[in-house]
Amino acid sequence: MLQYSDEENSWILMLLIPLLTVILQGYIFWLLLKFRKVIPEFITDTIFTEKNSTIFRKVGNGLIIYSVLIFFIRLIEKCFEITLEYSVSASYTLSKNFGTVLSGRISLLVIAIFLLIIAKLIKEGYQLKNENDLTI
């Protein structure tokens, strides 16, 4: 359990941060359920559809939103934790917390960008498939 400094508003943080984290975890679960709709279409070889492109784009954007929000929640959480380092400047502590929190989010951001690229490729593949079907 986190320990916060003895300020008046620390109880708000103790309630708000876990609540926001649970809400964001629910959001990720919802995105995974949405992404699950694409899997059967990969089996039936109907990959290049507008629906798949939309789902990939929504999941990619959702992961970016999740990463940014959870980054700020963790940064705020780290800033209000009690630090035992007394001879360290505030700027050092902030940059250390920033680096620690950011390092945990880079992989999710890379996955989100990869999903957005795949969404664009699926959309362009769908358009090429439609053009090819019209010329035949």
Ordered per-residue pLDDT tens for the chain, 136 residues: 455 555 556 677 778 888 999 999 999 999 999 999 888 887 887 888 899 999 999 999 999 999 999 988 888 887 776 655 566 677 777 788 788 888 878 899 999 999 999 999 999 999 998 888 877 6
CA 124 – CA 134 distance, rounded (Å): 15
Query: Considering only CA atoms, which of 44, 42, 62 is closest in space to residue 52?
Result: 42
How far lies 59's CA from each of 40, 53, 64, 123, in Å? 17, 10, 9, 15
Backbone φ and ψ for 82, nearest 5 degrees, come out as -75, 125
Q: For the whole prediction, is pTM greater than 0.85? A: no
- How is the chain split into domains, by residue range? 10-135
